[in-house]
Structure 1
Amino acid sequence: MIGIPIFTVDAFTGRIGARELRGNPAAVVVLDEPKEEDWMLAVAAEMNLSETAFVRQLGSGHYSLRWFTPTDEVNLCGHATLATAHVLWESQMLSTNEAASFETRSGILQARKQDDRIELDFPAQKVQIAAAPRGLAMALGIEPRFPISCWKAEDDWLLEVPVGLVENLKPHFGELAQICRFLKCRGIIVTAATDSEEYDFISRFFGPAIGVDEDPVTGSAHTKLAPFWGKQLKKTQMVGYQASVRGGLVAVDWRDSRVGLLGAAHTFLAGQLRFKNRKPLTLTSRVLQLVKYRGARPWPSG
């Protein structure tokens, strides 16, 4: 039997008041050789998390990194990058004083350990004001009486709404998926500024067209939220709260063309992918055999 190390890591965990934020679970597969895209997609579908990361060492502190949802490969994923860096340091594949460098579809990404958190260095994404696409507000469950402003944010759309709406939105995911496919976008970011002492802005991310109705915490969305709110709030260092059921905190440091994302992570489980040959996995096979379990929290719904 062939065994490949795999981990599930909760990324961008934290706490607001008495509430524990469980972050976004990502699977991390550690490869010692290249794998076919179909194989990686099959593993991601089997894991059924918002993203599965595949990391392979290219040299000292230098790695190849790819990310897959259950249905597609994506160009950038913050929480799965944070999870990958966490695995490298926690498993002592990388010493704590070494930086990690990842070759990705979005260029070279850097990660550094800072005490009990990890900082990622990502490119800042452009955000430009635009007319709201027809039907988008309705698909999100926003009534016409509420004021919104709409922005094109690279491969996403961003909507600024009244702060009280963000946590109460109940999107119609079928309609939203159709709109996202028509717009050829990854997903929709809904956000508002807050007067909280613990965070500067609140957001949610919906990506039903790529198989993720709502992402628990979206690091890559904060590469757009950082310049967006940085300009409006006249700040470079901010904290974002993503108000999903699991919830998460992302500290951002906006530096013109770059954004630093700072967050904490926790290993939920570690194990091995087990299969009898090197052919791609079938989606019906049960390939994960757990060898280590940490924590008493229920298994995330994905």
Structure 2
Amino acid sequence: MTLPIYQVDAFADKVFAGNPAAVCPLQEWLPTEQMQAIAAENNLAETAFFVPRAGGSDAEFELRWFTPTVEVDLCGHATLASAHVLFRHLGATAEQLTFHSKSGPLHVRQQPNGRLTLDFPAQPPLPLHQHPEGLTDGLRATPLRILAGPDLIAVFDTEAEVRALHPNMTHLAQVEYRGVIATAPGSNDIDFVSRWFGPRVGVPEDPVTGSGHTQLVPYWAERLGKTELHARQVSARGGDLWCELRGNRVLISGYAVTYLRGEIEWS
């Protein structure tokens, strides 16, 4: 059996930057354990699988995402990568694609400047007044404040503190959230920076995390008093995201570039 596979660097305008995602177009779903095995073999933060939506238009798909160890409910960069594959390689001509997922309908639109824009549900975080077990030892630093959404958000005073973090992943895996986001104000034209750590789901550090910005954008929009924000994830690979808070939705824009095309083979 063969299966097409693409690897795309999302939130990047050149290869070897941004966040690599594997994308596997399907005509029908494989067994969940088979998709999980493929994701483990790829050993990327996420592998996305999509199928045409039954009874839908040619711009509608069902979409699922897997880390090397678990299936997740929402992933930004692999959604961006899936849309890139459809637009760039599979002949999609619609201005907007809709992916139906465990997090509801997700839309991706092509922009004239070459960016792709994700339309995701906003997930505003709430203040947390007690540091969860493992957080301070895991980050090896004490944040100014803690917020809780699907991820735990640790807010620091400066970008330099976020860049300098060298987490203890064993301790950080004790934090009972999907991931831990460290964030701080940015500099120059960057409104805020972040890093995302997810040893609990098999991703020690994610290079650029679209889904994390569904939580970060509402927080920083309120704090900075603006709805349009330029964000940068300051991992080793790094990536830029142009974001907008629009009611209960977050628009997240970025570039994507294909790194490889191939086939998976198994008997």
Residue 109 of structure 1 aligns to a residue whose secondary structure is strand
The aligned residue for residue 290 of structure 1 is: none
Larger radius of gyration: 1
Give 3-state SS (helix, strand or coil) of 1:167's partner.
Answer: helix
Which of 168, 171, 180 is the aligned partner of 1:172?
168
Specify the alignment match of 1:200 in structure 2. Answer: 191
- For structure 1, list consecutive stretches of 5 or more residues without a partner in the other structure: 277-302
1:130-177 deviation per Cα after TM superposition (whole angstroms, max 9, x unaligned): 1222441221010x5xx5100112x21101112120000000001111
Partner of 1:156: 151
> Percent of pairs identical after alignment?
44
Q: Which residue of 2 aligns with 1:72?
A: 70
User: Given residue 6 of structure 1, which amino acid in structure 2 is its aligned partner?
Assistant: I
Residue type of the alignment partner of 1:90? R
RMSD over equivalenced CA pairs, Å: 1.4
Q: In the aligned structure 2, how far is the partner of 1:35 from the partner of 1:21?
A: 30
Which residue of the other structure, out of 176, 179, 183, is the alignment partner of 1:187? 179
1:209 matched to which residue of 2? 200
4+ residue stretches of structure 1 with deviation over 4 A? none
Match of residue 104 from structure 1 = 101
Q: What's the counterpart of residue 117 of structure 2? A: 119
Report what 2:41 is aligned to.
46
Q: Structure 2: how far apart are the matches of 1:113 and 1:41?
A: 30
Matched with 2:221 is: 230
| Conserved 8 A contact 1:53-1:65 | yes
Partner of 1:292: none
Partners of 1:48 and 1:70 within 8 A in 2: yes
Distance 1:173 1:210 in 2: 11
CA distance 1:272–1:21, shift in 2 (3 Å): closer
Question: CA offset at residue 14 of structure 1?
Answer: 4.7
For residue 258 of structure 1, what is the aligned residue in structure 2?
249
| Structure 2 unpaired stretches of 5+ | none
Report deviation, 1:98: 2.9
- Residue identity opposite 1:212 in structure 2: V
Residue 7 (str. 1) matches residue 2 (str. 2): no
**Cα drift, residue 45 of structure 1:** 0.3
SS at match of 1:121: strand
**Counterpart amino acid of 1:23?**
G
**How many residues of Structure 1 are paired with residues of Structure 2 in the alignment?**
261
Residue 21 of structure 1: how far off its partner (Å): 7.5
> Matches of 2:133 and 2:2 in 1, distance apart?
49
Which digits, 9 at most, give the CA deviation of each residue in 1:112-144, with x for residues without a partner? 1113110010000021111222441221010x5
